[in-house]
Structure 1
Amino acid sequence: MSIKPPFRADVVGSYLRPDYLHTARKDFAQGNLSQQELTAIEDKAITELVQRQKEAGLSVITDGEFRRSWWHLDFMWGLNGVEKKAIDSGYNFSAMKTRAESVQLTGKISGENHPFIEHFKFLNQFAEEGIVPRLTIPAPAQFLKELEREGNREQTQAVYPDVKELIKDIAAAYRTVIAEVYAAGCRNLQFDDCTWGMLTDPKVQQSAAQAEVAQHASCGCGHDHGVVAENGLESLLNKLLEVNNLALDGTPEDLVTATHVCRGNYRSTWAASGGYGPIAHVLFAKENIDAFYLEFDTDRAGDFSPLAQVAPGKKVVLGLVSSKVGELENADDVIARIKEASRFVPLENLYLSTQCGFASTEEGNNLTEEQQWAKIALVREVAKRVWE
């Protein structure tokens, strides 16, 4: 069995936190627990999680993102030139809003000595033959859009009047992090990226395109503003592609890179709805990664036809088993959908996973730990029936 990711039975990476970890994080936030004490509790929870992942028969292990509050913001806060910021309103989801937190620039961005390097070193001690540790981090495009969101844009432009310089420094910071985590032993890096997933939604496409046009109207980026005004969405897609690919420039050949495209995953709710068609010609055809982890768990994701635009040889991990609900899918139905997807991507380049993580934020989705592991067991069962 190959130990090179992706795996026929795979996962996105975050897991439900045990109750004692929730308690510890609350105690720490209230000043009743030291950082050293919290770290020791996190170490214990991660050690137990890794053992459970191995017992479940997975070939990939993660730390479950147990040291994080968010799947993305904690990483951004760990970059130099970035600080945590309270905002007026959180992200809008279908049934609720998230906590109101974001990022703010304090100066130029760089990536030296990121705390996630030490986090990975702790995970890497559990590597063994046939078991690959994976680090999950938000994509450079996700960071760029966070800096450009309403309420953050003014401070970002104060530090970076030219968006080209912003993109250049984001990419350079990521390359630094990649080099340092590679030196720490990482050979499987996953970029989680809601920017593309959100742009599958027609309403988001329209507002994002308008925002892109407005931003270019007042910036010193050197782009042809007439072209941007004619197709703001296409300009935005190419900007997201540019920062992601620039960050990946020079990546070591034996570092497997992947991206997970998400439409939002917060306490079992979602933020966007739409098929991959509007983004496929850029993301699937041009992003310089090895594998795409894609949500296909509901009709909101559309059909498989956009997969025809995946560049030859790229891997596609089908997220057909929902991490949002406890109800277990029917194995035969999942197998039928894999066969349907193989009309557009050869079966040998297809893999199976849960549609997203089980806890993109520390609150977690609305299912039990038992249901979480039953989902993973189903992924394993289906993978064996299809590919072994």
Structure 2
Amino acid sequence: MTLFRAIPPFRADVVGSYLRPDYLHEARRQFAAGAIDQAALTAVEDRAITELVARQKAVGLRGVTDGEFRRSWWHLDFMWGLQGVEKALLERGYRFAEMETRPETARLTGEIGGSGHPFLQHFAFLQSLAGADAVPRLTVPAPAQFFKELHRPENLASTQAIYPDRQALIDAIAAAYRTFIAELYAQGCRNLQLDDCTWGMMVDPRYNNAGIAAANVSQADGCCSHGEATVISDSVEALALELLQVNNKAIEGAPADLVITTHVCRGNYRSTWAAQGGYGPIAPFLFGKENVSAYYLEFDTDRAGDFSPLAEVSGDKLVVLGLLSSKVGELEDKQAIIGRIREATLYLPLERLCLSTQCGFASTEEGNALTEAQQWAKIEHIVEIAREVWGDAP
């Protein structure tokens, strides 16, 4: 048996987003101020992505992304690119443990469609840089994430005006994603990652998980339990079944050689977090029944609980252990990480495990509180640990 992997996920892997270089931040500021046009901004983005892909390959990564450098948000930019969706402002942003985000959202203006998405061009440029020695990966928000965004209190009236029936909304979202996936595949994509915070929020009792909104409570009051003690309620179970349905319907019929994975965390904004709680309550749904090839899972702190829910991972699906933190620059102890990988093998064999950070380095354009040098040192650390644990596997 070999532990080398020729297809994603790879033993040393990434979630997707990277810190933007200073010159890209400056170009975006100039564009917002009207000092440069879209063509000039795109040229700067092209330069930054070209440099990024070269750096990813140089440190030994086989799965490469564009760092989400053309986006402001990890999720909203994709939603804004769908038909029937507009960019809208709110009174308040998403609430994190120590701060609040920009108050932006995606709101329905008509029926949802997924053809001709701008991300197709984004992927085409990434693909042109990947070459034969790397696999270009596109990251997009999961259908469940879009479903929950449309049920924020400020968006609910617009959503229900167009889709008064929840099942009709689920069907429309899934159909739009299937259209997008088909067009993306035709362009050559063979690795798609669905980023999905809905499951990480669902295990935190401070959130209203009836699919409507987050509870208006402090994100730092410590009221939430760690580990696997949280019990899933009837309303949360109903939501879990809805989210499972929309995600599975969206990827139904996808080509067999398109590797579709998903990433789950508990929030990642400027090195802060939004939720806490172990995977236990949602493991039978997410790990047992979602039809993806692999899970990129947050495990860098005890807010994510222990490894025991991994016993629910069905079939031959893989798990990418997010054991290193993208929120801080300090390097984790190598032997401690190796020890945790060995601990995870109590529930899944080593050949079904890989290694990454718990999330990207810049889920929004602001980025986390570490330097680019620390970011790359962290990735080199992952590659070094992976080689020690899995041999010569990339």
Indicate the SS of the match to 2:129. Answer: coil
Match of 2:33 among 18, 30, 33: 30
One-letter code aligned to 1:85: A
Report the CA distance between 1:231 and its aligned residue.
1.2
One-letter code aligned to 2:384: E
- Which sections of structure 1, spanning at least 5 residues, go unmatched? 213-229
One-letter code aligned to 1:357: G
| Aligned position for 2:285 | 282
Deviations 1:195-239 (A, max 9, x none): 0011121222xx213859xxxxxxxxxxxxxxxxx8111100000
Aligned residues: 369
| Aligned position for 1:7 | 10
| Aligned position for 2:147 | 144
Report the CA distance between 1:17 and its aligned residue.
0.1
| Aligned position for 1:114 | 117
Confirm whether residue 55 of structure 1 aligns to residue 63 of structure 2. no
Work out whether residues 324 and 358 of structure 2, in 8 Å CA contact, stay in contact via their aligned partners in 1.
yes
| Aligned position for 2:180 | 177
Q: TM-score, normalised by structure 1?
A: 0.94
Work out whether residues 3 and 59 of structure 1, in 8 Å CA contact, stay in contact via their aligned partners in 2.
no
Work out whether residues 90 and 101 of structure 1, in 8 Å CA contact, stay in contact via their aligned partners in 2.
yes
Partner Cα distance (2:189, 2:211) in 1: 39
| Aligned position for 2:209 | 208
Confirm whether residue 353 of structure 1 aligns to residue 352 of structure 2. no
Partner Cα distance (2:350, 2:184) in 1: 32
The structure-2 alpha-carbon separation of the partners of 1:336 and 1:276, relative to structure 1 and needing over 3 Å to count, comes to: same
Report the CA distance between 1:130 and its aligned residue.
3.0
Partner Cα distance (2:314, 2:133) in 1: 28
Match of 2:126 among 108, 117, 123: 123
| Aligned position for 1:194 | 197
Match of 1:92 among 77, 92, 95: 95
Indicate the SS of the match to 1:88. Answer: coil
Partner Cα distance (1:3, 1:61) in 2: 14
User: Which 4+ stretches in 1 moved above 4 angstroms?
Assistant: none
| Aligned position for 1:265 | 268
Partner Cα distance (1:81, 1:195) in 2: 22
Work out whether residues 3 and 132 of structure 1, in 8 Å CA contact, stay in contact via their aligned partners in 2.
no
Question: Which structure's residues are more often helix, by fraction?
Answer: 1
| Aligned position for 2:239 | 236
Work out whether residues 209 and 231 of structure 1, in 8 Å CA contact, stay in contact via their aligned partners in 2.
no
Report the CA distance between 1:334 and its aligned residue.
0.3
Identity rate of aligned residues, in percent?
A: 65
Work out whether residues 2 and 130 of structure 1, in 8 Å CA contact, stay in contact via their aligned partners in 2.
no
Partner Cα distance (2:235, 2:272) in 1: 28
Indicate the SS of the match to 1:99. Answer: coil
Report the CA distance between 1:127 and its aligned residue.
2.4
Report the CA distance between 1:126 and its aligned residue.
1.6
Q: TM-score, normalised by structure 2?
A: 0.92
RMSD across aligned C-alpha pairs, in angstroms? 1.1
Report the CA distance between 1:121 and its aligned residue.
0.2
Work out whether residues 84 and 111 of structure 2, in 8 Å CA contact, stay in contact via their aligned partners in 1.
yes
